Structure 1
Amino acid sequence: MNNYQIPVGISNRHIHLSRQHLDQLFGEGYELTEFKPLSQPGQFAAEEMVTLVGPKGEIGKVRILGPTRSKTQIEISKTDSFVLGVKPPIRDSGDIEGSPGVTVIGPKGKVELEKGVIIAKRHVHFHPDDAERFGLKDGEHIRIKTTGERALIFDQVMVRVNPKYALDCHLDVDEGNAAGLKTGDMVEIVKEA
């Protein structure tokens, strides 16, 4: 394996809920049921799903990712934004100011979000040891190259470094489809000459 290769995780639409919104949607004190662990330690896809309703349409069976967070955030693709009829900005996770909202419907209630819908900026999670090995720093941007019949280069890929992270490149479904990628495939950092 090339030293500059990184595994890919293709991220489908999903929602991160605050404790308050989880209670509103599923009932007071409800706890999420783990469906499967994610690539990042302590993170998981839950069994539970919700429906998103925008000005133009709705998307059902949107997976909740756990554990709960301080703020509710919805990550969708550009294609999803057309279905819902919203114009979300491309942002780093957690940066939801000025983003549009939608209605979230659960089995016990609904939440009218004023903000929180984003298209996640493509990024790579690095543990500090991996970042040092690659010679990268938190917040910088890199280019990654894919292989195969639909090979391409993604520019402006954000580097995110944290001791809680495991090495993984996160692209959304639209990006994965454009490059013919699936979760578990490898991409390579393009080193400038």
Structure 2
Amino acid sequence: MDNQLKDAISRAVIQALENRRSPLQQIHEVPIAVSNRHVHLSRKALDRLFGRGYELKKWKDLSQPGQFAAQETVDLIGPKGIIRNVRVLGPSRGDTQVEISLFDGFTLGSHPPIRDSGDLADSSPITIQGPRGQLKLDRGLICAARHIHMHPNDAIRFGVSEGQRVSIQVPGARAVTFDNVLIRVSPKYRLEMHIDLDEANAANLKTGQIGYLSRA
């Protein structure tokens, strides 16, 4: 077999392999943000904890448009412990939601379920102490499941859709793959994956590092 024929066969084999590449092998970069414990308050909860008509004061803007960390903090009271000075995020929401890590749950003596944000059915009870009052909730305490915020243009570019679950690979000394990552799509969102402090520490990650999404 002459060299010209060998080259032709090699090119054909390479092309065939390229054509068979899974779409999952088409890689996209996603910035990662580490989310510490925090509280989202309803209007009613804000009145109870800080006084009727109280408005949150912005401390700093968050990466997602329109969201901010407030100057205000509250204390979380569980069956066995207290976590003090937990940051309130604004603006206020329809339902009060408290997001902690599983390790925080040990401190409080609680066992929060791992849930997508907003899924509060049968979530754990929690007591919140503010400067003007205390609020005892029958539900609302969760460990937020890992997720990615995306603008619709990003979703089109990545070939994914709202509610889809994907995997994110993160290289490094503690290389890790995050599975079951929820895709959330809205014109109000900026591209960013959110993980909690436990996940970040396990993988030695800091806010701003890059993960790689394999297009589904």
Distance apart, 1:190 and its partner CA: 3.2
Whichever residue aligns with residue 165 of structure 1, its letter is Y
Larger mean Cα displacement after TM superposition, 85-94 or 62-71: 85-94
- Check if 1:124 corresponds to 2:156: no
Alpha-carbon distance in 2 for matches of 1:115, 1:105: 15
TM-score, L = length of structure 1:
0.96
Q: Aligned with 1:174: secondary structure?
A: helix
Alignment of 1:106-121 (within 5 A): 106-121=130-145
Unaligned runs of 5+ in 1: none
Whichever residue aligns with residue 120 of structure 2, its letter is I
Q: Deviations over 1:122-148 (max 9, x none)?
A: 000010000000000111111101122
Counterpart in the other structure of 1:166: 190
For the 8 Å contact 2:159–2:215, the answer to whether it is kept is: no
Whichever residue aligns with residue 170 of structure 1, its letter is H
- Check if 1:64 corresponds to 2:88: yes
Distance apart, 1:191 and its partner CA: 4.8
Alpha-carbon distance in 2 for matches of 1:105, 1:82: 19
Give runs of ≥4 in structure 1 deviating > 3 Å: none
Whichever residue aligns with residue 37 of structure 1, its letter is D
Alpha-carbon distance in 2 for matches of 1:38, 1:191: 27
Q: Aligned with 2:195: secondary structure?
A: strand
Alpha-carbon distance in 2 for matches of 1:36, 1:148: 30
Distance apart, 1:102 and its partner CA: 1.0
Match 2:209 to one of 180, 185, 188: 185
Counterpart in the other structure of 2:18: none
Q: Aligned with 2:139: secondary structure?
A: coil
Distance apart, 1:3 and its partner CA: 6.1
Q: Deviations over 1:44-99 (max 9, x none)?
A: 01110000000011100100000000110000001011111111111111110101
Counterpart in the other structure of 2:200: 176
Q: Aligned with 2:172: secondary structure?
A: coil
Counterpart in the other structure of 1:154: 178
Alpha-carbon RMSD: 1.3
Alpha-carbon distance in 2 for matches of 1:9, 1:44: 15
Instruction: Classify 1:119/1:130 alpha carbon distance in 2 versus 1 (closer, same or farther; 3 Å).
Output: same
Larger CA Rg, structure 1 vs 2: 2
Alpha-carbon distance in 2 for matches of 1:36, 1:149: 32
Unaligned runs of 5+ in 2: 1-25
Larger mean Cα displacement after TM superposition, 63-72 or 33-42: 33-42
TM-score, L = length of structure 2:
0.86
Alpha-carbon distance in 2 for matches of 1:80, 1:31: 28
Q: Aligned with 1:149: secondary structure?
A: coil
Higher helix share: 2
